């Protein structure tokens, strides 16, 4: 079954003035016994003639089972033989071909090649091959394929293309070539039923192997990355990550992988890892990783090196600022609150800490404390100077900074005393001014001291002194009160401006005058020299009754101990008693001034509630 067509392009060549080309287009259809295409099947293609013309090649069918190729031949051949052959699944040969006599021009050769493969669709064979850079002449083969269901392969019969062949039963397997070049490797296997003794098929697969060089090459690589990763125990800790790789170690050779941290320390590396490394101080470091391969003669056949940089800034300067404020604690006797919450420490390093040391001004400081505030109780009142010492330490207990601050506190007894006096405007006159000493203090005070500054350069101690001024003028009179007892110390003072004239006004135009300080508790009815009128009840609550007033006009004034009239009125008496309402006034001592005709009387009144 063959068809060779002469395309008679000779006339066309004459028509176009072109020279005919000598070529043959070959199309061979490879089918099995069931007339089904056999795809990807290897065949031998031969074309030869006289003049030593010869073509030998191994071709493969395409996906539709067709060999499709074209070749050129020289002019002047007497004959040209074309032959295509291959083995069937049972190993038998099959082939097709034809001969051209005195060929000239272009031809197409088409034919069908039937091979003995009744179960070709269920039989397949393929293989892959690879070599390493360190052993480029040694090729590893890995066959794969399948046969009919239940069939067993017989191993692989391999023609390595270099004149050697081998039957192997385990895969993958290797073969070493002695010279560079291109080799056609064909591998066959037979699938059979060993129990029934039936051979189903024998399949063959061929492929080319290229050996470029017999000299091995080696590859290696190293990479590293470093970044700061400080923690509480070491501010100069780094996170190191690295990777190393290599193709293979030369026979009898060595592999060396090293990490240099850039601080004088090194370690042996592995394929790759991530870990922490602590540096001792701030600065710039250059960690690196290297891979070195050496052969058996200690020659370096591959090396790789990578480096990274890492910077640790020096710590900022640590600064301390102590701020102390001391106040008396009103809830506890003779105690103070020392507050230092405004104290600060700038740039305290990780692991550092602060301690406060107090000196309370009486020889006692107490233990150091990490807290800013302290409570302290003194044994006695007085003026104290309290000082705070603030110290910052690093994690190794070394001092980083110190700051001081002090405050003063006058620790006093927490009770009241009050210095006070008032001018007796009712009884002052004729060159004499009377003052009421109204001072008060805690009854537990065992010692009470009072002294006066009369405003003219003279001072005098005592509660009720008498002082003579040399002339008229304006004087600032001050009373100072000091008490001391089991509860402690209390101080108070009071001042007022004073002048008096002969008519009872607070100005003396000329001449001297006398100041007399009196005790309000010693003034009674008899001292007022009342001759006609009397008052009751005394002490009073809501009202005061005045009896014994003569008929006619009666003027009265109720004066407090500051000499200020708080109430007054004029009544017309015609016998009977006068009732004065005092329910609206605060309790305390008052002077009731009564003027009835030519009689003027003063009565001390005590209001109680």
Give per-residue pLDDT as tens, 456-478.
999 998 888 888 888 777 889 99
What CATH number is attached to the domain comprising 506? 2.60.40.10
String of DSSP letters for 487-510: TEEEEEEEEEEE---TTSSS---S
Which pLDDT band holds residue 450 (cuts at 50, 70, 90)?
Answer: very high
Mean pLDDT of the chain: 84
Cα–Cα distance measured from residue 207 to residue 153, given in angstroms and rounded to the nearest whole number:
20
Q: Are residues 336 and 397 in the same domain?
A: yes
Number of folded domains that form the chain = 6
Percent of the chain scoring above 90 in pLDDT: 48
Query: Mean pLDDT, to the nearest integer, of 384-392?
Result: 94
3-state helix, strand, coil in the chain (%, to 5): 5, 55, 40
Is the pTM value of this prediction over 0.85?
Answer: no
Cα–Cα distance measured from residue 356 to residue 390, given in angstroms and rounded to the nearest whole number:
5
567-581: per-residue pLDDT in tens? 999 999 888 889 999
527-556: per-residue pLDDT in tens? 444 347 889 998 999 999 999 888 889 999
Query: Mean pLDDT, to the nearest integer, of 271-284?
Result: 94
Choose the final residue of a domain: 180, 211, 242: 211
pLDDT at residue 233 tops 90 = no
Query: Mean pLDDT, to the nearest integer, of 190-200?
Result: 67
How many residues make up the chain in this entry?
Answer: 609
Contact 486, 506 (CB under 8 A): no
pLDDT at residue 266 tops 90 = yes
Chain mean position to CA 609: 70
Of 344 and 604, more confident? 344
Choose the final residue of a domain: 411, 432, 459: 411
Of the candidate ranges 175-184, 257-266, 546-555, the one whose mean pLDDT is the lowest: 546-555
Which pLDDT band holds residue 171 (cuts at 50, 70, 90)?
Answer: very high
Q: Are residues 512 and 427 in the same domain?
A: yes
Which pLDDT band holds residue 486 (cuts at 50, 70, 90)?
Answer: low
Residue found under tokens 């001759």: 531
Range of the domain at 328: 319-411
Q: Are residues 7 and 38 in the same domain?
A: yes
Q: Are residues 280 and 325 in the same domain?
A: no
Cα–Cα distance measured from residue 115 to residue 87, given in angstroms and rounded to the nearest whole number:
7
What pLDDT, on a 0 to 100 scale, did the predictor assign at position 432? 78
Choose the final residue of a domain: 312, 340, 371: 312
Helices in 478-587 by DSSP H: which ranges?
none
């Amino acid at each position: 079954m063959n068809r060779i067509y002469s395309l008679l392009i000779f006339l066309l060549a004459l028509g176009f003035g072109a020279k005919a080309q000598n070529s043959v287009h070959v199309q061979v259809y490879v089918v099995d016994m069931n007339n089904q295409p056999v795809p990807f099947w290897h065949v031998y293609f031969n074309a030869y003639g006289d003049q030593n013309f010869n073509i030998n090649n191994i071709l493969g069918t395409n996906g539709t089972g067709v060999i499709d190729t074209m070749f050129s031949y020289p002019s002047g051949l007497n004959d040209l033989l074309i032959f295509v052959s291959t083995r069937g699944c049972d190993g038998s040969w099959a082939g097709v071909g034809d001969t051209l006599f005195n060929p000239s021009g272009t031809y197409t050769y088409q034919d069908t090649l039937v091979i003995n493969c009744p179960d070709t669709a269920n039989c397949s064979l393929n293989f892959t091959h690879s070599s390493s850079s360190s052993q480029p002449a040694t090729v590893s083969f890995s066959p794969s394929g399948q046969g009919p269901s239940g069939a067993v392969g017989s191993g692989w019969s391999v023609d390595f293309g270099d004149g050697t062949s081998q039957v192997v039963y385990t895969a993958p397997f290797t073969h070493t070539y002695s010279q560079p070049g291109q080799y056609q490797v064909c591998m066959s296997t037979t699938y059979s039923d060993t129990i029934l003794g039936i051979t189903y098929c024998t399949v063959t697969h061929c492929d080319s192997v290229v050996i470029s060089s017999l000299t091995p090459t080696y590859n290696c690589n190293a990479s590293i990355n470093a970044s700061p990763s400080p923690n509480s125990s070491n501010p100069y800790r780094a996170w190191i990550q690295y990777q190393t790789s290599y193709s293979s170690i030369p026979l009898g050779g060595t592999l060396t992988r090293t990490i240099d941290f850039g601080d004088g320390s090194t370690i042996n590396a592995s394929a790759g890892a991530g870990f922490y490394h602590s540096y001792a101080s701030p600065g710039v470091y250059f960690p690196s990783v290297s891979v070195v391969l050496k052969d058996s003669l200690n020659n370096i056949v591959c090396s790789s090196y990578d480096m990274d940089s890492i910077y640790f800034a020096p710590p900022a300067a640590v600064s301390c600022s102590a701020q102390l404020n001391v106040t008396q604690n009103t809830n506890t006797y003779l105690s103070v609150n020392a507050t230092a919450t405004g104290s600060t420490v700038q740039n305290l390093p990780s692991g550092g800490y602060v301690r406060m040391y107090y000196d309370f001004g009486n020889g006692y400081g107490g233990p150091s404390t990490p807290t800013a505030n302290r409570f302290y109780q003194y044994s006695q009142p007085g003026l104290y100077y309290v000082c705070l010492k603030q110290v910052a330490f690093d994690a190794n207990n070394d001092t980083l900074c110190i700051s001081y601050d002090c405050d003063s506190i006058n620790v006093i007894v927490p009770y009241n005393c009050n210095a006070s006096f008032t001018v007796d405007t009712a009884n002052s006159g004729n060159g004499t001014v009377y003052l009421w000493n109204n001072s008060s203090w805690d009854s537990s005070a065992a010692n009470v001291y009072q002294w006066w500054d009369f405003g003219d350069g003279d001072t005098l101690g005592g509660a009720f002194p008498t002082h003579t001024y040399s002339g008229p003028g304006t004087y600032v009179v001050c009373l100072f009160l000091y008490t001391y007892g089991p509860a402690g110390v209390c101080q108070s003072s009071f001042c007022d401006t004073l002048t008096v004239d002969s008519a009872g006004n607070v100005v003396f135009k000329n001449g001297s005058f006398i100041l007399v300080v009196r005790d309000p508790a010693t003034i009674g009815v008899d001292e007022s020299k009342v001759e006609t009128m009397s008052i009751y009840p005394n002490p009073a609550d809501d009202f005061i009754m005045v009896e014994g007033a003569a008929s006619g006009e009666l003027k009265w004034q109720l004066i407090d101990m500051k000499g200020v009239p708080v109430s007054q009125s004029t009544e017309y008496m015609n016998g009977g008693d006068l009732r004065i309402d005092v329910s609206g006034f605060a309790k305390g001592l008052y002077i009731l001034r009564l003027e009835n005709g030519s009689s003027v009387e003063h009565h001390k009144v005590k209001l109680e509630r």
